[in-house]
Amino acid sequence: MTTETLMNQWTTTTTPQAIAKWIDETDTIALLTHAKPDGDALGSTLALARAINLKKSTSGAVSAAECWYCGHMPAWASKLIGNTKIRHAESGEMSPGVFDPQGVLITDTGAWSQLEPYRAFLEPRLDRTVIVDHHLQGNGEIATKRLICTDAAAVVQPAADICVALLGLGSPSELPAEIALPLYVGLATDTGWFKHSNVTPEVMRLAGDLLEAGVDHAALFAMLYQRDRASRLKLMARALASLEVIHEKNLAVMMLTDQDFKDAGAAPGDSGGFVDLPQSVASIRVVAMLTEHHDTEGVFTKVSMRSKPSAWEGKDPIDVNEVCSTLGGGGHARASGARVREDLATTKAKIIEALG
């Protein structure tokens, strides 16, 4: 294997300290993340942008970092973003416009499939791109500087290390509250509000540090989880009505058609989190949530899968990253997804077969 091939593998090649040094040496940075950013994607980019701008403001620079987002944003995103400089494109390609950054920092993904809107912008700039991620798969050729923490529950964990190193602090508990808050959002959302099996002592220690830094846990919970519209609840009713329990009651499948979204008056992102609901059933080990979508090439299905650790029944947990890989997707062993160029029924059949 050549050195270049090795460099392109999905491995860590740098450290939080080295990335902090790179930030110091780079005047302007665009922070990119996957399309349709979630709490971890928004939290990691906003925290880093704020830390970078804070650090650079001490040396006179005004706005050195900005975040770029593409696609549907969570309802609470604008609250979290506040005054931080962002650009947002509903869909399609993102171009640098007047701001051509010296460096690009990508968090919470490192896969071309998730960075498609930025491809034309990124391809000539790969030599100045850095990736910080926690997913099991990615395209190493996007950046030679990579911090890949697959043990981290959320990418805000390595992002917190970078913020601490950049600002020369002793611990995340010393971070300014406006940086601690988005980090906490990433940590709380990627762990299902500290419920999932990815919660580790490190997660809770960081959560404790961020609370010490001034995060208001209860206010944040209300902001994230208690501001749904009734249409989401109506959509949830349809998802639950579609529930099928198969494979000796081990697999739960739910499906939402285009029409379901229309009838409920719901928006495309409104099905977020539904995949977690059937996990409350004792016998369920795997959940698949399927949603129907259309684009210029026709119909496709988005699959979201969760695997429940059920070792107490003497059965090993199922690796849904493996299942989604067979569908052209991937993610984590306990939480994964795919985009399949098939209709709902065909996709469902493929999942049932893959789990057979």
Residues lying near Mn ion in the complex (CB under 5 A): 40, 108, 155, 190
**Which positions ≥6 away from 315 have C-beta within 8 Å?**
285
Closer of 29 and 155 to Mn ion (Cβ): 155
Strand, coil or helix: what is 26?
A: coil
Q: Smaller CB distance to Mn ion: residue 37 or 117?
A: 37
Nearer to Mn ion, 190 or 270 (CB): 190
Question: Least distance from C-beta 82 to Mn ion, angstroms?
Answer: 21
**What is the DSSP track for 240-255?**
HHT-EEETTTTEEEEE
Residues 6+ away with beta carbon under 8 Å from 13: 7, 144, 145, 146
Q: What's the closest the beta carbon of residue 108 comes to Mn ion, in angstroms?
A: 5
Sheet order of strands, 335-340 included: 244-246, 251-256, 286-295, 298-307, 335-340, 330-331
Fill in the amino acid letter for 170: G
Shortest separation between residue 165's beta carbon and Mn ion, angstroms = 20
Q: Among residues 40 and 66, whose Cβ is nearest to Mn ion?
A: 40
Structure tokens at 224: 């994230």
Q: Which is nearer to Mn ion, 64 or 70 (CB)?
A: 70
- Shortest CB 138 distance to Mn ion, Å: 12
* Shortest Cβ 58–Mn ion spacing (Å): 30
Which H or E element spans position 289? strand 286-295
Name the residue whose CB lies closest to Mn ion. Answer: 40
Question: Which residue's CB is nearer to Mn ion, number 64 or number 77?
Answer: 77
CA torsion angle 215 217 218 220 (round to 10):
70
Three-class secondary structure of residue 51 per DSSP = helix
Q: How far is the CB of 245 from Mn ion (least distance, A)?
A: 29
